[in-house]
């Protein structure tokens, strides 16, 4: 199963992706986590993306696409994966389509978590992970970036008839069940 878990920052993609790993038996692939690890380990990639991430902006499409392409070719992702935080631009979605079609593969489901802005802001402010990009001014930048650059990705998958909208409000368990209902 190749699943895209889509939604604005604070929608609960990471939380849900981690829970779904066990339920559907494939791994979470979070581009944000990969970048945070690279920064923590001070790799060349980490050094390159730190300032962009801290500002709440998007890392360049080429860098992200190359990282995802490398990752999905690993044997542990052969059965599928839950994409969390990717694709975040239409260019990334197109690049994903082309890398999958070269491999004779496709996305099985695209699930968009819907959460109103006020709720997103409250969740991000309360997240308390000490993330550099979870401060009020960075949160505003990230929501603006989402609306301008990422929201069109939903229209892209709607155009392909693949998008399923899921209410992202409620308990973690209730939301998880809605996602499972949407993907089967
Ligand atoms: P996330 O953990 O998904 O909220 O991602 C945190 C940050 O990592 C984002 O604000 C971006 O700076 C960067 N990032 C993660 N995924 C992507 C992506 N697909 N394209 C561009 N930047 C990304």
Instruction: Report pLDDT digits (tens) over 72-92.
Output: 999 999 999 999 999 999 999
Domain CATH number, residue 136: 3.40.50.300
Reported confidence tier of residue 28, pLDDT bands at 50, 70, 90: very high
User: Which pLDDT belongs to residue 128?
Assistant: 61
Whose CA is closest to atom 8 on ligand 1? 32
User: Which pLDDT belongs to residue 15?
Assistant: 95
- Distance, in Å, from the CA atom of 154 to the CA atom of 131, rounded to the nearest integer, reads 26
Structural domain including 122 reads: 2-174
- Looking from the CA of residue 145, the nearest atom of ligand 1 is 10
Ligand 1 midpoint to CA 118 (Å): 21
**28 C-beta closer than 6 A to ligand 1:** no
Ligand 1 midpoint to CA 87 (Å): 9
pLDDT for residue 47 is more than 90? yes
User: Which pLDDT belongs to residue 132?
Assistant: 83
> Structure pTM?
0.96
User: Which pLDDT belongs to residue 126?
Assistant: 87
Question: Which residues are identified as catalytic?
Answer: 13, 88, 127, 131, 142
- Is residue 109 assigned to a domain? yes
Q: Total structural domains in the chain? A: 1
Cross-sheet strand order for the sheet of 2-6: 27-30, 81-84, 2-6, 109-114, 163-167
């Amino acid at each position: 199963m190749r699943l895209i878990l889509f939604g604005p920052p604070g929608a609960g993609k990471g939380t849900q992706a981690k829970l779904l790993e066990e339920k559907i038996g494939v791994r979470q692939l979070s581009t944000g986590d990969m970048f945070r690890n690279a920064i923590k380990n001070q790799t060349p990639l980490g050094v390159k993306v730190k300032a962009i991430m801290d500002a709440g902006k998007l890392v360049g499409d080429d860098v992200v696409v190359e990282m995802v392409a490398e990752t999905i070719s690993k044997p542990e992702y052969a059965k599928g994966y839950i994409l969390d935080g990717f694709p975040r631009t239409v260019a990334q979605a197109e690049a994903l389509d082309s890398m999958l079609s070269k491999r004779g593969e496709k996305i099985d489901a695209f699930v968009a978590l819907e959460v109103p802005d006020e709720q997103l802001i409250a969740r991000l402010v309360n997240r308390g992970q000490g993330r550099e990009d979870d401060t009020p001014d960075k949160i505003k930048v990230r929501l603006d970036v989402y609306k301008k650059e990422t929201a069109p990705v939903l229209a892209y998958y709607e155009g392909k008839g693949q998008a399923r909208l899921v209410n992202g409000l409620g308990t973690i368990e209730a939301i998880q069940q809605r996602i499972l209902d949407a993907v089967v």
